[in-house]
Copies of this chain bind each other. A is one copy, B any other.
Amino acid sequence: MSVNVGIVGFRGYSGVDLVQILSRHPEVTPILLEHRQDSSERPQPIGFTGPERIGANVEAMVASAIKAVFLATPPEVSMELAPPLLDRGIKVIDLSGAFRLRTAENYTRWYKEPHSAVAWLEKAVYGLPEVNRKQIPAAQLLSNPGCYPTAANLAIRPLVQSGLIDRAAGIVCDAKSGVSGAGRKPSLKTSYCEVTENFSAYSILDHRHVPEVLMVSGLDEGEFSFTAQLIPCDRGILETIYFRAPGIKDASTLAQIYQSAYRDEPFVRLYAPGVVPDLRAVQRTNFCDIGFKFDPATGRGVVVAAIDNLVKGAAGQAVQNMNLMFGWAETAGLL
């Protein structure tokens, strides 16, 4: 029997991917929840019928027997919409940054605005399955990780946990993202003529995704340098991560660290030492691909991690979390 799930923000890039994944998912029926019609939709052929649409109000959702709602909305909208749904027993999977950090103070520091749903902050479960799989099934409010932190944490956490890297020397994460990561709302920064044949850095050292990496990886702020950059492409994140590990004697040690971390993970793929993924390897998939190069003579290491920012970095991981929350196969709808 199919479970009804709702999507708010179905016109945005993450929302469009969510609708597409959920429409093919064996366990659910997606319903579009109209919140604000502030963006146009693509023209459709004659005879096209997408999912059912209802208004994004709680009574309508209850009447439609919606069991879970995906919020593909800005943080301030998620903070407004999530509590009444949760109060009525509807599970919420929030794709925004609203509930990712643990305290209102930290949220305000990085997002530069007050938090308006503090009571739910501590109840939210951070949905990075590879780290947090046991907590996810019980989640009422699932906070889906940010796109940059998903790749960064999957690449960095095993290094930190191994105890073999020189944290004092710092870890550098040079991150690059396709333009869809900035959302569908038109802006000069994401206009075609500004982006094509260009490449630019932004939010150097102070991107709002940094605290997620610190929280999950265990690094201190002074140990972690992060720069976000815009690739002239639609989708995909590639992060080049630099570390120093004088204590590691050969690449196979590193290989073992990653293999023991991800041996049984359905959505993390590893490469032979010296081989690294590109964006093409992961676009339109829910995989996080990780490869590395290590120079034993000097202890310098470089890890390359790649995801699709809209899939493993957003819609796909949200569905992976839904699968865990409902007890379905973790990969349902995602392979």
Contact = CB atoms under 8 A, between A and B. Distances in A.
A201 interface: yes
A279 interface: yes
Interface of A: 13, 39-40, 42-43, 45-48, 168-170, 172, 174, 176, 178-180, 184, 186-188, 190-201, 204-205, 221-222, 225, 227, 229, 231-236, 238, 240, 242, 244, 269-272, 275-281, 283, 289, 293, 295, 297-300, 302, 304
A43 B275 contact: yes
29 contacts: A45-B270, A46-B269, A47-B269, A172-B242, A176-B229, A178-B193, A179-B191, A179-B196, A186-B186, A186-B187, A186-B188, A186-B190, A190-B192, A192-B195, A193-B235, A197-B197, A197-B233, A199-B233, A199-B238, A199-B278, A200-B278, A204-B302, A205-B293, A205-B302, A221-B298, A222-B299, A222-B300, A225-B242, A231-B232
B271 A43 contact: yes
Contacts of A40: 188
Nearest to A289: B45
How many copies of the chain does the oligomer comprise? Answer: 4
Contacts of A170: 169, 242, 244, 300
List the 4 closest pairs (A to B, CB-CB), nearest first: A200-B278, A222-B298, A45-B269, A174-B174
Nearest to A40: B188
Contacts of A271: 43, 45-46
B302 A227 contact: yes
Contacts of A300: 170, 205, 222, 225
A227 B299 CA distance: 15
Given A45-B271, A190-B193, A205-B295, 8 more contacts: A42-B280, A45-B289, A172-B174, A174-B240, A180-B193, A186-B190, A192-B194, A199-B279
Contacts of A187: 186
Contact of A186 (B46, B191, B244, B276): B191
A46 B184 CA distance: 33
Contact of A192 (B45, B191, B289): B191
A283 B225 CA distance: 28
Given A193-B190, A195-B192, A238 B279 contact: no
